[in-house]
Amino acid sequence: MDLVLAPAVVGDADDLLAFESANRAWFEHWVVPRDPSYYSIDMVRASLAIAQRERDLDLSHQYLLKSGGEIIGRVNLTGVQRVAFNKASLGYRIGQNHAGRGVASRAVALLLDEAFGKLDFWRMEANSRPENAASVRVLERNGFRAYGRATRSMQHQGAWYDQILFERHRDAA
């Protein structure tokens, strides 16, 4: 499968809304749901316009993962801190039809190439719920190492969850 990482732009709004809508239940199983108002073309366009501005200001970098021109995932760098830390937080979501095929691992690898190359970050952070073994494996395959655990740090669907905290340095082997 040929994978392309492309910056998220307003021109992708229709395809992104279709992707997010088709995978909504799948994503909401693992992460806090988006506000229902997000699932309209106007809101998706607005979120993509914000993403473009934040990329221009080096506040965050959002990408769409495409295969054959179709959006199959998203990979993002948020919480950019340049002074003294030169780091960002990695997040990703892969569509349900592409889960379990190594797509997430390849997407994260592509983003790390961008982050440690063109964007010149020193460090990446990420987190995952321990129950999400597939996500933990994706991070470990890409050289992330656990450095801590945030207990009862996330409330989702009425339950509290821990998160494993991960980091990866540019010079890590």
Do the domain assignments include residue 111?
yes
Do the domain assignments include residue 148?
no
- Answer whether residue 157 shows pLDDT above 80: yes
Do the domain assignments include residue 70?
yes
- Answer whether residue 173 shows pLDDT above 60: no
pLDDT for 101: 86
Q: pLDDT band at residue 18, thresholds of 50, 70 and 90?
A: very high
Do the domain assignments include residue 65?
yes
What residues have CB less than 8 Å from 11, skipping those under 6 apart? none
Do the domain assignments include residue 147?
no
Please say whether the beta carbons of 20 and 44 come within 8 A. Answer: yes
For residues 90-114, give the mean pLDDT: 93
Do the domain assignments include residue 101?
yes
Q: What is the DSSP letter of 122?
A: S
For residues 122-132, give the mean pLDDT: 95
For residues 128-133, give the mean pLDDT: 92
pLDDT for 54: 98
Q: Give 44-88 pLDDT, tens digit per residue.
A: 999 999 999 999 999 999 999 999 999 999 999 999 999 999 999
Q: pLDDT band at residue 90, thresholds of 50, 70 and 90?
A: very high
Overall domain count for the chain: 1
Nearest CA-CA partner of 19 in 96, 78, 88, 89:
96
Amino acid found at 2: D
Do the domain assignments include residue 171?
no
| Domain residue limits at 75 | 4-124
Q: What is the CATH number of the domain that holds 45?
A: 3.40.630.30
Do the domain assignments include residue 112?
yes
DSSP 7-71: E--GGGHHHHHHHHHHTHHHHHTTSPPPPGGGSSHHHHHHHHHHHHHHHHTTS-EEEEEEETTEE
What does R_g of the chain's alpha carbons equal in angstroms? 16
Q: pLDDT band at residue 158, thresholds of 50, 70 and 90?
A: confident
Pairing of strands 123-128, 145-156: unpaired
